[in-house]
Amino acid sequence: MDESIMQDLEKEFQGKVFLKIEDVSGLLGCTKKVIYNWTRRVDRERRPPRVSVGKIILFPKREFIRWLVREQSV
Per-residue pLDDT of the chain (74 residues; tens, 9 = 90+): 457 767 777 788 888 999 999 999 998 899 999 999 999 999 998 999 999 999 999 999 989 988 988 888 76
Q: What is the CA radius of gyration of the chain?
A: 12
Range of the domain at 40: 2-72
Whole-structure pTM value: 0.83
Total domain count, the chain: 1
CA distance 4 to 58: 22
Q: Tell me the three-class secondary structure of 24-68, residue by residue.
A: HHHHHCCCHHHHHHHHCCCCHHHCCCCEEECCEEEEEHHHHHHHH
CA distance 22 to 62: 17
* CATH code (residue 35): 1.10.10
Which element (helix H / strand E) includes 74? none
